[in-house]
Amino acid sequence: MALKTQLIPYTLKFKFDAGTSRGVLQEKKTYLLKVWNESHPEVVGWGECGPLAKLSIDDYEDLNDRIAPLIKMIDGIEMPKNTQAIYDLAFKIAGFDYPALRFAIEVALLDLMHDGVRKVFDNDFYHSQNQIPINGLIWMGHMENMLLQISDKVVEEFDCLKVKVGSLDFEKEVDILNYVRRKYYNRQIMLRVDANGAFKPHEALYKMKTLAFQNIHSIEQPIAAGQHDLMAELCANPPIDIALDEELIGVHKKEEKKQLLAKIKPQYIIIKPTLLGGIQSSLEWIDVAESLNIGWWITSALESNIGLNAICQFTYEIKARGHQGLGTGKLYENNFDSPLTIKKGHIYYDRNKEWDLTELDYGEFI
């Protein structure tokens, strides 16, 4: 029952120019990992290795050349016997250096362990269409475009919106949030904002105080990562609760995770398995956060539906509470058809829909 692998590069194309404080995204390169047993080649597990450009520690131009030989370490070995053995193998191969690859290996082998039907965890998200509440993501752009996005999300009955800030004139961004509060005053809409570290140190507190007048639930990463003393000061008595995001990237060992969160003491952390080293590493972050009474939620990181499906099932498996950041499946014009469905601000796995991975038949196999 020896294992075999293929690594397939795939370029996801955005339906629109997706604006962030780090620039505009038009496409995203990802790698799909295919794993099967030689004796049953028709049963395939799929995982996804999709680092984020300019953010992930494994964002390399030559990533395929780096990870292809690592993937081949799986060829010829026996299928791990349980979930922990899968996590251990993924770490042995990818280590701390390739967090997105570690996630891909975990997911592909978990899928294969569950008969290769895109079932990563055997739970009621996969079986029973149980739903997960999600936030509606509002991308940066011209003011009119952002207002249109907000209107669309409200029509779709999202009751939590996450608005990216930090690239427009700040007064305009405040006007947009004020518009939401005035226009939809009779709707209980939770507003989150994500600065992606765009606020300058000397202006962060002022801007957070200004945003607080719009009844903001939380702000993600107000200042750039690495400024631990200043971030700790901001988190000590913030006008808006702070959620760490980029701050967690590159922090690997559990003791280092404890030291970081104990020093900064944020109100929340954002768990992104692709960026943080996969499922087992994410579980460590959650364990540390809960030991310090720090809240958390799960967010996808622009994966295709293969990666998003795994993150959704993981989110349900660990009983994540509140609105999660899992609404990125509709961003791409060439995403893979899947049972993942969004309705009324919730995501669920529609058992009446099928997976379609035929696009991968045209991939450039490695």
Could you say which of 71, 102, 118 is where a domain stops? 118
> Within a domain: residue 358?
no
pLDDT band at 255 (very low <50, low <70, confident <90, very high): very high
Mean pLDDT of 186-196: 93
Question: Given strand 3-20, what is the order of strands in its sheet?
Answer: 3-20, 23-37, 40-49
Spatial CB neighbours of 232, under 8 Å, sequence gap ≥ 6: 263, 264, 265
| Residue-wise pLDDT tens digits, 120-137 | 999 999 999 899 999 999
- Considering the domain architecture, whether residues 113 and 134 belong to the same structural domain is answered as no
- When mean pLDDT is compared across 131-135, 201-205, 246-250, 361-365, the lowest value belongs to 361-365
Structure token pair of residue 4: 């075999």
Question: Which one of 34, 153, 164, 207 is the catalytic residue?
Answer: 164
> Within a domain: residue 261?
yes
- Considering the domain architecture, whether residues 108 and 145 belong to the same structural domain is answered as no
> Within a domain: residue 361?
no
Which range marks the domain in which residue 298 is found?
124-349
Whether residue 351 has pLDDT greater than 50? yes
Q: What are phi and psi of 51, to 5 degrees?
A: -60, 155
- Considering the domain architecture, whether residues 262 and 343 belong to the same structural domain is answered as yes
| Residue-wise pLDDT tens digits, 51-104 | 999 899 999 999 999 999 999 999 999 999 999 999 999 999 999 999 999 999
pLDDT band at 20 (very low <50, low <70, confident <90, very high): low
- Considering the domain architecture, whether residues 40 and 102 belong to the same structural domain is answered as yes
164 is catalytic: yes
- Considering the domain architecture, whether residues 206 and 129 belong to the same structural domain is answered as yes
Spatial CB neighbours of 355, under 8 Å, sequence gap ≥ 6: 118, 336, 337, 338, 339
The rounded Cα 202 to chain-centroid distance in angstroms is 29
> Within a domain: residue 272?
yes
- Considering the domain architecture, whether residues 169 and 311 belong to the same structural domain is answered as yes
Whether residue 355 has pLDDT greater than 90? yes
Q: Check: CB of residue 331 under 8 Å from CB of residue 293.
A: no
> Within a domain: residue 35?
yes
Mean pLDDT of 304-323: 98
- Considering the domain architecture, whether residues 51 and 155 belong to the same structural domain is answered as no
- Considering the domain architecture, whether residues 81 and 214 belong to the same structural domain is answered as no
Q: Check: CB of residue 35 under 8 Å from CB of residue 43.
A: no
Spatial CB neighbours of 353, under 8 Å, sequence gap ≥ 6: 337, 338, 339, 341
pLDDT at residue 224, rounded to an integer? 96
207 is catalytic: no
Long-range CB contact pairs, 21-27, < 8 A, 24+: 21/140, 21/164, 21/165, 21/166, 21/167, 21/195, 21/196, 21/197, 21/198, 22/54, 22/55, 22/196, 23/54, 25/53, 25/302
C-alpha–C-alpha distance, residues 114 and 261, integer Å: 35
- Considering the domain architecture, whether residues 166 and 207 belong to the same structural domain is answered as yes
Model pTM? 0.95
Count of domains for the chain = 2
Q: Check: CB of residue 157 under 8 Å from CB of residue 347.
A: no
- Considering the domain architecture, whether residues 253 and 132 belong to the same structural domain is answered as yes
pLDDT band at 366 (very low <50, low <70, confident <90, very high): very low
Whether residue 306 has pLDDT greater than 50? yes
Could you say which of 94, 118, 142 is where a domain stops? 118
Mean pLDDT of 37-61: 95
> Within a domain: residue 91?
yes
Give the 3-state DSSP-derived string for 125-157, with helices as H, strands as E and coil as C: HHHHCCCEEECEEECECCHHHHHHHHHHHHHCC
Question: Which one of 272, 330, 343, 344 is the catalytic residue?
Answer: 272
- Considering the domain architecture, whether residues 80 and 137 belong to the same structural domain is answered as no
From the list 59, 39, 61, the residue with the least C-alpha distance to 49 is 59
Structure token pair of residue 306: 């293969």
∠ Cα 14 316 261 (to 5°): 85
